[in-house]
Structure 1
């Protein structure tokens, strides 16, 4: 057995030889990353520079776009380096740092979506009390809580996995994953497994339950309200629901293929499924909100064609 502190690097075994196509892959990934950065930065700038968008809903959206940049920056530069490299290894500290970044991204994404659903619930179900319930101070506190709690929640598994004894250093993925490192352990991992179940419940089950509850209440108000109320609810809630479903399915695919043997699935498909939740969400969210919400769409046009 060798202690994890003696493991100076991990080998990423999911990469395969693409020969000359690696430069084409590099350009594709780089273009995708630049598109994600530009689209998310544009919407962040538009929201920050226009006082008309300094409302709770748009501030939560700004937090969501910042998180997309955070998660993308934890993955894409790493992929770009590995694609051009002939030896797909990563130092242990950098590997654990990437795990922390990607897990924090997932936690904050679910928490942010849950807070956005709560905001829409108050705006649609209690419109007269909305301004007193959702003040700027409350928005600031909610954003501080979801970011700090998400960071702390994801720091613990990194600390636990870095302290276990490992019997290998080969990770069968294209990026670092805490679950795959725990599978390399040759010491007791009960603490990590128990914490993993608790963290998964807090990260996924609790936010999704809150979102389902708020949307049940929103639907009840919509069906009993006027046509204008229904149109307002659809215009503001549709992008949010699409974002939640997309991210939830992406996480479900990732958990499914991590926990079960999927040797019958083609290798390239497994790589795509493992990257889906980290690539499609940051790419599609700016398009959803930028195109669907008229206030943002109009201001984006003015900003671009200024």
Structure 2
């Protein structure tokens, strides 16, 4: 505890080796962030303004896209500023806020994907009671819980980390995460071990629920051609999004805890960025291409704009 000091700023590593092509990385990052906003906002506005899409599956998809914008806002603006600055530092409050946004967004992502799997299970395995089960009131309650639980769990985790006495200020990553902040603590507390363990167990149960629901879905769809068609149209996009999330999240978690320090800095940066790049960018694209109603609605809007421009030209 003698080495403890009041930490007002954290330093982030990972950008020192890209000084020769900083502007190139900045341009590509800005392009990716713009594309993330474009594809997610397109899905959100399409669902909001088309009353035919005010159904459970599309409401959950809309929330998934909103969460993508929420999560990426915790990384890209700061990362773009770091690419243009000589020093890569972040304030004490800013670091904890960034960690909270990124972690809570990841947890909310999994919660929404679990809710979508439950919706597909009821729609395919219990179609006669689907309207009775997935009412507007129940959907509202489920969405509220889906947002409140991740925010509450990560708020308690962040607050417990905030109370730690820190003996360092260097974070070996291009953004703040609770794991590395905890590693800077002068001494470990039991609370900072119990809360993360509970959070991991809680969301591992989410994962088990999805596995069980899909096992039942697959058994149900094998016996019916109509169910197989529903599965390919609505469940496959969800399954692809879920697999992308799990692969990216596990890649990052496993590397943080067990990764080799001999990897190049560029590879480390890629593994750090993949979670805030791949799911937010490809989830709306996968759903937009596979869900017929959304695809037709977007095409009609685009065709209407083309017809309007042809008239005025």
Could you tell me the TM-score, scaled by structure 1's length?
0.96
**Corresponding residue number in structure 2 for 1:295:** 293
Among 237, 241, 246, the alignment partner of 1:239 is 237
Displacement after TM superposition at 1:201 (Å)? 1.4
Give distance in 1, aligned partners of 2:259 and 2:295: 44
Aligned length: 303
**Corresponding residue number in structure 2 for 1:42:** 42
**What secondary structure does 1:186 align onto?**
coil
**What secondary structure does 1:74 align onto?**
coil
**Corresponding residue number in structure 1 for 2:82:** 82
Deviations 1:23-61 (A, max 9, x none): 111111001000000110111000011111000110000
Give distance in 2, aligned partners of 1:291 and 1:110: 22
Contact kept? 2:4, 2:186, Cα under 8 Å: no
1:249 matched to 2:241: no
Deviations 1:104-156 (A, max 9, x none): 10110000000000000000001110000100111110000010111011111
Give distance in 1, aligned partners of 2:301 and 2:209: 35
For the aligned residues, what is the CA RMSD? Answer: 1.2
**What secondary structure does 1:10 align onto?**
strand
**What secondary structure does 2:96 align onto?**
helix
1:99 matched to 2:99: yes
Give distance in 2, aligned partners of 1:202 and 1:300: 37
Displacement after TM superposition at 1:250 (Å)? 0.6
Contact kept? 1:99, 1:176, Cα under 8 Å: yes
Give distance in 1, aligned partners of 2:20 and 2:296: 43
Displacement after TM superposition at 1:206 (Å)? 1.4
* Runs of 4+ residues over 6 Å off in structure 1: none
Could you tell me the TM-score, scaled by structure 2's length?
0.94
Contact kept? 1:3, 1:164, Cα under 8 Å: no
**What secondary structure does 2:235 align onto?**
helix
**Corresponding residue number in structure 1 for 2:193:** 193
Give distance in 1, aligned partners of 2:67 and 2:240: 17
